[in-house]
Amino acid sequence: MKEDCIFCKIINGDFNTEFIIENEHAVVFNDINPKAPVHMLVVPKIHVESLNELDDKNLLGELMMTVKEAAKKAGLNSYKTLINTGKDAGQEVFHMHIHIMGDKK
């Protein structure tokens, strides 16, 4: 855990964030600034600054399976995933996370 990381604090329970899913590897919660009717974030429990620093293929697989589970739980048949990597790509929180965006139909 990195002390000044907002996502590490959320994972630690500092803000009483409601988790849509919590498992051994990740938490899923709603984005506070949604860009779609459904906009969730999948965040690994370990602090990894960005996709460039993620070396664990198994963790990446677990995160993607969590994406699938969260989308299904939210009732999304179709959805978009996004990983911003680095400031120039729009990453604002430097703890890797996967956006899930969609619209229930």
Secondary structure string (H, E, C) spanning 19-51: CCEECCCEEEEECCCCCCCEEEEEEECCCCCCH
Q: Is 42 exposed, middle or buried (0-12, 13-18, 19+ CB in 10 A)?
A: buried
Residues 6+ away with beta carbon under 8 Å from 57: none
Of 25, 39, 95, 97, the active-site residue reads 97
Whether 95 is a known active-site residue: answer: no
Query: Which amino acids are annotated catalytic?
Result: 97
